[in-house]
């Protein structure tokens, strides 16, 4: 208000009683319609730049017309009295009516004040202005908005830019843009710090395809910008590919919906999977409805990303599938997908440091979490993984350091997972397989897995595992039903362990499980040397084998001329240890030397899993048989060379005589043995062997 009155006061000092029209012309001033006397100040009315100024009764007032003409150099005049207005010339130099109105309106200009938007930008120059657009505009050239200008479209006005580019630092000033279409064209719009698909024509009715508007809105953002979805349903007919760092925000998983309209690989895809380009994503608050048309909901090669508070349903392969490192998937709901909840994908070694926490992953046709080869240092914590047909989590291939902690695993594995090699089906919550092929059960890459403090119902077991480099299972709870803690697989060959070794495997205190371990066998032998390093907390530490080999006798006489005595062959791991050998030069099937026990004398072991182990070696062309007799399903183990061998794992009966020992299977060979152990399964065989004389 002070500016208005000061302006009027200055003008009135240079007027006469006769009304005058003062026309400024770029640095020159002239009077038209009468003389002007600078010495008189009793003017009642005058017009300046089309505005009428009056001071009835000495009180100045001003009336601004609704339209005015911007002055140009063509209007310049050179009157005789221009020197009289030298003062005004210095004050109003290059003044236009549009700029004067902007001053009087508090820094606001209107599109109607100028011939077009480019003319407006030129006229405004470097002065801070809000340029309100009240009518549709059509560009005839590229438009660059400087930082001092805020474009503010109103009343549904649209900038039709065709193939022309709209850019400039002033495009960052979008905070006050309405939720309506702002631009229409094929040319690039850039420089936005925050963008909405509505500004680019999204209908947000769930029926029309909003993919083009979504893509243009994302393309308009500078790296690090905010892409903002509104409440409502966006129709999606093609994949949105994100190729730069942006934050994607919806109004909430119950408010913003992405409704898939056509077949596509993924609804949102980031980076280059299997390539060299990763993208940092921050996605939250959206609901992706795949409708059985999209393979994936969110897919890509990401790094340092956060994906949280989203809802994904109706995808074919997986709700989310990620490659990359140091990303976090939290507080999402993934349900009703034909395939898996979350997958890790991509190049070996490029899915690292992933955290999945507090997600709800339920009622999916595949796995809750499907871990591809090449991943590691991953945490699954505080998730609810429920009613997934294949199971809660499948960790396979070249993976390492997986921590599965404090998850609620309920009613998973109704269908289970079927292996093709060997052919069998397993129904478990957590499947650990070191094979590079998820359909083959093999120990190629022994993983490192911790399973702690999980709550489980459903499935035949908490975990089914093959070879591991480290396995820790402790603090887990089975609430109801018949369920094994850890299950594993046997050896089909009878010669070597085709399924690896559970190295550094430890089972701590767990609650509610029907049994601690169970085994599935292939063939008739069921060799479980691979399990001799598994330790189970709480098992009896007693070795009930006859460890002094001089006390072994012929326990089964097959009519062979055999002898059993101290051997001259040294035990390579410990040359001080006594080695005995079985010699039977003229018979393929030797007698059995060993010891026997009366099961009734060991009530503390009744019903417990037991194993018979020893170091054995064959010299010559034959093999050594580690022999057990007296329990159903007894089998033998074979070895050629010093091998720590564990025989068939069996349940200790309440009565009966059990026989343990060694035999050889061919003529012309000898069999050596040392350090026998007969103990409850889950002991460290190495520890028990260490105390044998």
pLDDT in tens, 89-121: 434 444 555 555 556 556 789 999 999 999 999
* Chain segment 269-314, per-residue pLDDT in tens: 987 655 566 788 899 999 999 999 999 999 988 888 999 999 999 9
The rounded distance, in Å, linking the Cα atoms of 154 and 124 is 19
**Torsion sign (Cα): 596, 598, 603, 609:** positive
What is the reported pLDDT for 631?
A: 74
Distances (CA, A) of 20 to 96, 330, 338, 637: 19, 73, 82, 119
Element (H, E) at 662: strand 657-664
Distances (CA, A) of 512 to 61, 153, 382: 90, 66, 20
What is the reported pLDDT for 628?
A: 83
Identify the CA nearest to 254 among candidates 234, 228, 231. 231
Identify the CA nearest to 567 among candidates 623, 638, 617, 613. 617
The rounded distance, in Å, linking the Cα atoms of 376 and 109 is 58
3-class DSSP assignment, residue 685: helix
Contacts of 584 (CB under 8 A, 6+ apart): 560, 561, 562, 563, 590, 591, 664, 667
Report phi then psi at 227, rounded to 5: -100, 120
Question: Are the C-beta atoms of 293 and 284 separated by less than 8 Å?
Answer: no
Arithmetic mean of pLDDT over the chain: 80
Lowest mean pLDDT among 144-148, 166-170, 532-536, 572-576: 532-536
* Per-residue tokens: 669: 């060979």
* Chain segment 612-621, per-residue pLDDT in tens: 888 988 887 6
3-class DSSP assignment, residue 278: coil
Question: Are the C-beta atoms of 580 and 674 separated by less than 8 Å?
Answer: yes
Confidence (pTM): 0.75
Contacts of 113 (CB under 8 A, 6+ apart): 68, 70, 97, 98, 101, 102, 120
Distances (CA, A) of 165 to 133, 180, 344, 389: 18, 20, 39, 51
Largest CA distance in the chain: 147
Q: Where are the beta strands (DSSP E) in 427-469?
A: 428-433, 448-452, 455-457, 461-465
* Chain segment 184-216, per-residue pLDDT in tens: 999 999 999 999 999 999 999 999 999 999 999
Contacts of 105 (CB under 8 A, 6+ apart): none
CA angle 96, 102, 108 (to 5 degrees): 145
Distances (CA, A) of 263 to 150, 266, 368, 462, 672: 41, 9, 23, 37, 66
What is the reported pLDDT for 540?
A: 82
Torsional class of 647: left (φ above 0), alpha (ψ -120 to 50), beta (otherwise): beta
CA angle 429, 434, 439 (to 5 degrees): 70
Winning range, highest mean pLDDT, from 45-54, 453-462, 521-530, 623-632: 453-462
3-class DSSP assignment, residue 233: strand
Identify the residue with better confidence: 484 or 26. 484
| Residue spans per domain, the chain | 2-101, 109-190, 366-538, 549-690
Q: Give the number of other Cβ atoms within 10 Å of residue 454's Cβ.
A: 26
What is 549-690's CATH number, 3.30.1330.10, 2.60.120.260, 3.90.930.60, 3.10.270.10? 2.60.120.260
């Amino acid at each position: 208000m002070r500016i208005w009155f000061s302006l009027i006061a200055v003008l009135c000092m240079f007027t006469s009683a006769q009304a005058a029209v003062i026309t400024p012309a770029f640095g020159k001033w002239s009077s038209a319609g009468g003389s002007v006397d600078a010495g008189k100040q009793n003017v009642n009315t005058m017009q300046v730049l089309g505005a009428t100024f009056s001071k009835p009764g000495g009180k100045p007032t001003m009336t601004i017309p609704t339209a005015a003409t911007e002055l140009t150099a063509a209007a310049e005049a050179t009157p005789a009295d221009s020197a009289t207005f030298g003062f005004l010339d210095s004050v109003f130099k290059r003044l236009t009516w549009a700029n004067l109105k902007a001053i009087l309106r508090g820094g606001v200009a209107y599109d109607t004040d100028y011939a077009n938007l480019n003319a407006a930008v030129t006229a405004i120059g470097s002065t801070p202005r809000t340029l309100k657009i009240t009518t549709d505009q059509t560009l005839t050239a590229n438009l660059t908005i400087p930082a001092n200008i805020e474009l503010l479209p109103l009343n549904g006005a649209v900038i039709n830019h065709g193939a022309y580019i709209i850019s400039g630092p002033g495009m960052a000033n979008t905070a006050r843009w309405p939720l309506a279409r702002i631009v229409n064209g094929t040319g690039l719009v850039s420089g936005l710090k925050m963008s909405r698909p509505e500004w680019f024509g999204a209908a947000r009715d769930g029926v029309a395809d909003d993919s083009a508007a979504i893509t243009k809105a994302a393309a308009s953002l500078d790296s690090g910008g905010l892409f903002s979805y509104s409440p409502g349903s966006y129709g999606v007919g093609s994949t949105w590919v994100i190729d730069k760092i942006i934050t994607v925000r919806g109004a909430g998983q119950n408010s913003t919906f992405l409704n898939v309209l056509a077949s596509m690989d993924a609804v949102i895809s980031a980076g280059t999977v299997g390539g060299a380009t990763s993208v940092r994503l921050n996605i939250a608050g959206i609901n992706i409805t795949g409708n059985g048309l999209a393979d994936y909901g969110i897919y890509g090669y990401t790094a340092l990303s956060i994906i949280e508070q989203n809802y994904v349903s109706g995808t074919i392969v997986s709700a989310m599938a990620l490659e990359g490192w140091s990303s976090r998937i939290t507080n999402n709901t993934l349900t009703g997908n034909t395939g898996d909840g979350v997958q890790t994908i991509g190049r070996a070694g490029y899915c690292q440091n992933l955290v999945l926490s507090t997600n709800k992953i339920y009622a999916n046709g595949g796995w809750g979490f499907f871990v591809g080869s090449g991943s590691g240092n991953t945490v699954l914590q505080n998730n609810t993984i429920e009613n997934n047909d294949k199971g809660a989590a499948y960790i396979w291939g070249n993976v390492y350091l997986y921590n599965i902690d404090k998850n609620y695993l309920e009613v998973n594995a109704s269908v289970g997972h079927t292996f093709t090699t060997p052919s069998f089906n397993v129904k478990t919550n957590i499947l650990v397989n070191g094979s590079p092929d998820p359909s083959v059960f093999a120990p190629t890459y022994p993983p490192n897995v911790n399973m702690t403090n999980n709550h489980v119902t459903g499935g035949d077991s908490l975990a089914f595992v093959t070879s591991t480099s480290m396995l820790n299972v402790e603090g887990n709870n089975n609430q109801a039903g018949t369920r094994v803690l850890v299950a594993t697989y046997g050896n089909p060959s009878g010669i070597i362990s085709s399924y690896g070794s559970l190295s550094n495997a430890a089972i701590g205190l767990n609650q509610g499980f029907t049994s601690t371990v169970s085994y599935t066998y292939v063939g008739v032998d069921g060799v479980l040397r691979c399990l001799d390093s598994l330790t189970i907390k709480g098992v009896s530490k007693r070795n009930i084998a006859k460890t002094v080999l001089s006390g072994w006798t012929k326990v089964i006489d097959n009519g062979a001329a055999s002898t059993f005595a101290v051997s001259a062959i040294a035990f390579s791991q410990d040359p001080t240890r006594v080695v005995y050998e079985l010699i039977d030069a003229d018979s393929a099937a030797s007698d059995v030397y060993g010891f026997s026990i009366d099961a009734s004398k060991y009530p503390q072991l009744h019903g417990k899993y037991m194993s018979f182990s020893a170091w054995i070696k064959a010299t010559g062309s034959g093999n050594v048989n580690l022999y057990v007799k007296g329990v159903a399903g007894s089998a033998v183990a074979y070895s050629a060379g010093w091998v720590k061998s564990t025989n068939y794992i069996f349940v200790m009966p309440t009565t009966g005589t059990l026989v343990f020992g060694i035999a050889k299977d061919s003529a012309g060979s000898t069999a050596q043995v040392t350090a026998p152990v007969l103990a409850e399964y889950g002991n460290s065989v190495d520890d028990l062997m260490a105390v044998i004389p």
